[in-house]
Structures are given as C-alpha cells and as structure tokens.
Amino acid sequence: RFESIPMAPPDPILGVSEAFKADTNSAKLNLGVGAYRTEELQPYVLNVVKKAETLMLERGENKEYLPIEGLAAFNKVTAELLFGADNPVVQQGKVATIQGLSGTGSLRLAGAFIERYFPGAKVLLSSPSWGNHKNIFNDSRVPWSEYRYYDPKTVGLDFDGMISDIKDAPEGSFILLHGCAHNPTGIDPTPEQWEKIADVIQEKNHIPFFDVAYQGFASGSLDADASSVRLFTARGMELFVAQSYSKNLGLYAERIGALNVVSSSADAAARVKSQLKRLARPMYSNPPIHGARIVANVVGDPVLFNEWKEEMELMAGRIKNVRQKLFDSLSAKDKSGKDWSFILRQIGMFSFTGLNKAQSDNMTDKWHVYMTKDGRISLAGLSLAKCEYLADAIIDSFHN
C-alpha cells in the first residue's frame, strides 16, 4: 500500500544545507539557511544560554510535563519582551500567550485557530515571503493569497502596490506582516509607512498577523524591532503575533517561541487562550521545557538580559560588517557601473541579491556558493575573509 506514495520534494531552504554537506570543494560556502555563524563560520552558542543552562543544572530542575500553554514564567517574559512590560494590553490581561514549537509551530497553531474560528477567511502573504508560510497555511486549510511587496526595479518596497492589495482583500482578512527584518528581502516599511499600513488594515477590518522571528536582529535593539507590533497595539487593534527565539538567542533546535493573541478584553483573551490550548492538545499535547527555561532565565534576569543584548549587538554587528565589506568588494570589482547600494539598505540576516534562478544555479554549480534559488544569501553565514570570493562569484553570475 505504501508503493503508491510519491517522493516529496526537498525543502528549498533546508535542502540547500544537505547539498552543501555533500560538496567536497574547500571553497564552498553555505549562505542558504538563516543561521548565525562566527567569523570562523562555526555555529555559535550564546554565553548567556550556557549560563542559563548552568543555572538550570545547579537547581536540579525536573522534567515533568508542562501545562498545554507552556511555562508560565516564559509566557510572561516573552509577552513583555514583545509588547513592553508597561503596555496596557499586557497590564490589562488582553494578551493570550501560549508557548509554541518555535516560530513555525506558533504560526501553525494560529493557522489551526483561523481555520476553526474564521472559516473561509484569507491570509495575505507578502510577495515574496518566507517559503514555509505557504506550506503552513496550505496544511492548515486556510486560503491565502499575496500582496505586492518587493519591487525588483528599485530593489525596494512596492509600497503603493502593498497598500492597494491590502485594500482590495476581502474584509476581515488576516494580513501577515514580518515585524522586522523581512525574510527574504531585508526590506522593512518605515515608521510612516507602518502607520499607513495600520490605517488600511483598520479601514478594512482586517486582522494583523505579525511574524516576529528576528527581534533584535534588524536594528540591534529589541524595543526598536518591536515598534511595528507596538504601533498596532497602541491603536487598540486585535492581532496575532508569532515569536521565535531561534535566531536572537540562537536556540534553533530547542524549538522555542510563542503565539500571542491580543484581544479587545481580558475576557475574550481568556476564551481565546482556552481554545488555543484545545487546539494544541491533540497536535502535540504540551511543548518542550528546556528552551522555555533558558528564555525565562535570560529575559527574566536583569543581569543576563543585559549580557544577551550585548551578545546580540555583537552578532548584528558582525553581519553589518560583512554587509559593508561585501558592498565594498562588489563596488571595487564590478566594472559594469551597477549600483550595489541596495545591499547596504537591506537589514537583518539576509541580502536579496536580485540574482535569478539560473544565476543562483551558477553561484552553486561553478562557485560552490549555496543559496536559495530566489537569489537570497544569508550574510549570517558569511565571513569577512570570504567577501572577496563571494563578490567574484556574484559578479560572474550576474554578467553571465
């Protein structure tokens, strides 16, 4: 009976890492997955994470099941980190927070909630968006479509297109927004543009649905990177936020994140939370404890919290340095007169190079540079030492 099961295609992002591993060329570079590497291109475990884990061992904590909604201390600090501890929505108990299986699992839980309580409602995704968004809503049986976002002519935001598509969506749609450091383009709206986005969303009774996977990685400031979400809550809007600690605490494999639902009253928030628990129970029963404890210890402790901010600035700073060096190398080497300044305008872990599929294939086949076929490169996987090589590869591929 299993003979008829067809082979599934590999994940377009995680599949790149598989191909990279199989390549024996010593010049190879993995710029596929958005995972932070040191200048030596090694994975990095944050010092604050090690300290939190030492604390946990010393305390001799047990491995009992968590409640369905996760670790209470985690849920408290994660909502405060996102909205701000003094935010009225937090103070007034209007936020239902449930620990999720990192960003992905939190998005998926939101998908299940939308499917059950907003049947037929559409989710609008940016074009382009993180590839897994489509999979998540497909499997949740939530219809989705796209709004214009990236403008290849300016390598910038198609703001008018975005506004017009959000306006044209059926009333009461869920508008998925990247809270900061848009993946894959690295292009975020300005504060003024966020206000206008909030205006049309309110006009059309849409529901904002933020995906926050890079808090602290866009500007280097946790508060500044949450300003988009806070701007919407300040307007009293009901909304969703999926959070992830994969990148900013380097907890990729711990699968730690949260889904926050802001309601117009504490009563509604309690009911929403009860339904989220009901949805989570048959899917995974309850979430894992280790990452939740790490986050609770780091974010909930003023000393570790400050150390975390320093380490995050270090990570964000290293990415900014390779961004600058890559731009300098491209500008110096490329004789075609092409303007590479878009690289400096993009923020976060990625650069959207504008390389098309054939050119991206050339990067991999000829230069052993592994990247996604949409032309995205992860600068978090690049070192200063490799910038010149990468610039040669990009110039060759562009003019190929």
The residues assigned a catalytic role are: 130, 211, 247
The site partner of 78 among ligand TYF, ligand PLP, none (C-beta below 5 to 8 Å per kind) is none
- How far lies 245's CA from each of 32, 274, 317, in Å? 19, 24, 18
Nearest distance from C-beta of residue 1 to ligand TYF, angstroms: 29
**Binding partner selected for residue 14 from ligand PLP, ligand TYF, none, CB under the kind-specific 5 to 8 Å limit:** ligand TYF
Q: Which listed residue (188, 211, 238, 254) binds ligand PLP by CB under 6 A?
A: 211
Binding string, residues 231-260; x marks residues near ligand PLP by CB under 6 A: -------------x-x-----x----x---
Choose between 11 and 392: whose C-beta lies nearer to ligand TYF. Answer: 11
The option from ligand TYF, ligand PLP, none interacting with 244 (CB < 5 to 8 A, set by class) reads: ligand PLP
Letters for 46-85 (x = contact with ligand PLP by CB under 6 A, - = none) are ----------------------------------------
Distances (CA, A) of 248 to 291, 307, 309, 315: 13, 13, 9, 9
Task: For the CB of residue 201, give the shortest distance to ligand TYF in the complex, in Å.
Answer: 25
Give me the residues that bind ligand TYF (CB under 6 A), please: 11, 13-14, 33-34, 130, 132, 183
DSSP assignment string, 141-182: T--EEEEE-EETTTTEE-HHHHHHHHHHSPTT-EEEEESSS-
CA–CA separation, 194 and 228 (whole Å): 7
CB of 283 to ligand PLP, least distance (A): 15
84 or 103: whose CB is closer to ligand TYF? 103
Contact pick of 32, 84, 103, 287 for ligand PLP (by CB under 6 A)? 103
Q: Identify the residue among 183, 185, 215, 297 touching ligand PLP (CB under 6 A).
A: 183
**To the nearest whole angstrom, how small is the minimum distance from the Cβ of residue 96 to ligand PLP?**
19
Q: How far is the CB of 255 from ligand PLP (least distance, A)?
A: 7
Nearest residue to 250 via CA among 43, 39, 21, 106: 43
Please give the torsion angle defined by the CA atoms of residues 146, 151, 157 and 159, in that order, rounded to the nearest 10 degrees: -70
Contact between 34 and ligand PLP per CB under 6 A: yes
Total of chain residues touching ligand PLP, rule CB under 6 A: 13
Instruction: Tell me the window of 99-107, 152-160, 327-335, 392-400 that interacts with ligand PLP (CB under 6 A).
Output: 99-107
What is the distance between the alpha carbons of residues 13 and 25, in angstroms, rounded to a whole number? 20
Task: Kindly write down the DSSP assignment for every residue of 1-42, as one continuous string.
Answer: -GGGPPPPPPPTTHHHHHHHHH---TT-EE-SS---B-TTS-
Nearest to 76 by CA among 51, 49, 97: 97
| Cβ nearer to ligand TYF, comparing 132 with 145 | 132
Picked from ligand PLP, ligand TYF, none, the partner binding residue 321 (CB below 5 to 8 A depending on kind) is none
**110, 112, 163, 213: residue in contact with ligand PLP (rule CB under 6 A):** 213
Name all contacts of 187-195 with Cβ < 8 Å and 24+ positions apart.
187/149, 187/150, 187/155, 187/156, 187/157, 187/345, 187/346, 187/347, 187/352, 188/157, 188/218, 188/228, 188/347, 189/157, 189/159, 189/228, 191/227, 191/231, 193/157, 193/159, 194/227, 194/228, 194/231, 195/231
Min separation Cβ 254 and ligand TYF, Å: 13
